[in-house]
Structure 1
């Protein structure tokens, strides 16, 4: 695998359509944040994840320091943005850790751009809006409606309204699409996540050989609430070799206690 990271901006810079920050050296691990956030959501995990790795934090379009860009603000578009950035950085295959909407982007990347991901970890991801709790869907609808109305008189609220729209309309992945994801995958959720438990299990069951881990006593914001526990899971998973991949061919669910 190509680990040439000489094109990476250090510590940060614009790469094509997106703002990218980097830290460390070694095999690249791309970090994809959630809705309304930026790469800083992973700050508590950087010391553990960055040991022997190049961390590549990407701000999604209309988030952090990345511009809104043209075209629709959709999860699929964000996945295409990431593929474009990887092309510009000459990184044909990378490990990816995606949280929340970043996990959704990572799943779209795996489906839309086969071969770009070596190992995949998705945390608090969902395939479609109905995968989230009823309360969270209501929050999305109310927030989107309110911000959409206000944005007619306050233009700077248009982008926040679009972000809420992602919660209402996106992502749009069919579980059958995940059957084509032929890469080692770890699906993580919190015991009290806003993603419904049965939906997390659906994601894990739809990806051949994927494993699912549920962190006890934790809600949705796992990178912030339990950075050490999540880092340990991710580090162990990414360090596995070919023999481990062979023995892990059957999907399974584990509960990670404190």
Structure 2
């Protein structure tokens, strides 16, 4: 697949492409990297070398994260998915493989539902379809953190951004499992054995997708790109080598 020249001009630290901050590395088949809540594209730094062999890595900072602006309208996972499609348009990429972690996995699922023709192969790591997909402990911790930060943010304006980002985990995503039938991409669903996503919820995602396989990383928690980057990268590389591409 031909890559638009614009893509090659965004080495670290990157640059603004449409609604988002983007950084690229390498050449070849594009792999879009979508980070989790409160993070930026650097969460994948320890995976760049193994993932980048023969690929064009496209790291994005989601809206209101990293160097990307807040943008207009509600801060929602669905809007973030549309942002990714807009960036692909600006880069001249008709479609790409996509790797999303945590909220980035939720964004990736929304992207594959809303824009199925843009996603060739999909890897989602620690994703959930709705907040109740988290373990009770994780959900309560997020709700309490949001309540505290949102309360203080009324008096401390700089905390409004963090409060809004925490609200994403309290109120979002909102993906109907039936809508996953719209996903046309072969999908790898990855979780840690001790993930904050309930095992039965992960199974719901796998069963609802038309072409999905599950990988559970033993003795690992949620933060796989940071705490188990080699194991996660190996899973991703193996899947992309085996799954059929357009």
TM-score, normalised via structure 1 length = 0.92
2:90 corresponds to: 88
Partners of 2:5 and 2:33 in 1: CA distance:
18
Q: Give the C-alpha shift of residue 148 in structure 1.
A: 1.1
Conservation of the 8 A alpha-carbon contact between 1:120 and 1:183: yes
Shift of 1:3: 3.2
The structural deviation recorded for 1:241 is 5.5
* Aligned twin of 1:220: 222
Question: What CA distance in whole angstroms lies between the structure 2 residues aligned with 1:149 and 1:22?
Answer: 38
Where do 1:93-242 residues align within 5 Å? Answer: 93-240=95-242, 242=244
1:23 corresponds in structure 2 to: 25
Counterparts of 1:81 and 1:10 in 2: how far apart (Å)? Answer: 18
Aligned-partner Cα distance in 2 for 1:57–1:124? 18
Is 2:121–2:243's contact at 8 Å kept on the other side of the alignment?
Answer: no
Report the Cα distance in structure 2 between the residues aligned to 1:155 and 1:20, rounded to whole angstroms: 27
**1:183 alignment partner, SS class:** coil
CA RMSD, Structure 1 to Structure 2 (Å): 1.0
| 136-145 vs 183-192, greater mean Cα deviation | 136-145
Alignment TM-score, normalising by the size of structure 2: 0.96
What corresponds to 1:74 in structure 2? 76
Gaps of at least 5 residues in structure 1 are 246-258
Q: CA deviation at 1:69?
A: 1.1
Separation (CA, whole Å) in 2 of partners of 1:182 and 1:95: 12
Moved over 4 A (4+): none
Q: Could you tell me which residue of structure 1 aligns to residue 38 of structure 2?
A: 36
Q: How many residues align?
A: 242
Provide the rounded CA distance (Å) in 2 between the counterparts of 1:206 and 1:218.
24
3-state DSSP class of the match of 1:161? helix
The separation in 2 between residues aligned to 1:36 and 1:233, in whole angstroms, is 25
Is 1:60–2:44 an aligned residue pair? no
* Structure (1 or 2) with the greater helix fraction: 2
CA shift for structure 1 position 144: 1.1
